[in-house]
Amino acid sequence: MEDYGSLVERALSGPYFEDLKPGLRYRNPLGRTVTDVDNIWFTLLTSNVNPIHFDKGYTEKNYPGEPFKGRLVVNGLLTLSIAIGLTTHLSSRGFMLGIENVKFHKPVFSGDTIYAEAEVIEARESKSRPGFGIVKLRIRAYNQNNDLLLECDRTIMVPKKGHRWA
């Protein structure tokens, strides 16, 4: 009988390093609609004390104008997490090394649906880990109106075909 690790490896459909060439784009066809519960739980779970994320009375009083209109603002790190999650197909065989150049362009509110895409902007062989490559992805997230919400660069380490971490 196959071990669990072998079964998972066979089920993975993500690319290997050789498949991740600069210019390759992946857009997840699925989106993720954010709810007030998602936002409040994430905010409180991460000990964020900014009431703009969980206190409706506060936002109604202090942020009544556009674009807020007194609504709770979705925690930016939740938006970032969802965008990265929606693009993990490209890293499902490897792991993340870092995130940089994060820019939030528009706020997200309950009921917004987040869609995300990733573009390979750099790819090189790892100098310290033979059999692996380092890939930089530009992640972009959009809402249901196709408004750009955020951009960031995510660096991942991905194995070459036939290689495993040793």
| Percent above pLDDT 70 for the chain | 93
> Is the pLDDT assigned to residue 4 strictly greater than 80?
no
> Is the pLDDT assigned to residue 114 strictly greater than 80?
yes
DSSP, residue by residue, 41-75:
HHHHHTT---GGGT-HHHHHHH--STTTTTPPBPP
Q: What is the pLDDT of residues 86-98, one digit of tens each?
A: 999 999 899 999 9
Question: Peptide bond before 67: cis, by omega within 30 degrees of 0?
Answer: yes
Q: What is the pLDDT of residues 48-65, one digit of tens each?
A: 999 999 999 999 999 999
> Is the pLDDT assigned to residue 2 strictly greater than 80?
no
Residue spans of the domains in the chain: they are 17-159
Comparing CA positions, the residue from 105, 120, 114 lying closest to residue 150 is 105
> Is the pLDDT assigned to residue 45 strictly greater than 80?
yes
Check residue 10 and give its pLDDT.
61
Rounded to whole angstroms, the Cα distance separating 14 from 89 reads 5
Check residue 13 and give its pLDDT.
72
Please tell me the class of the 17-159 domain.
alpha beta
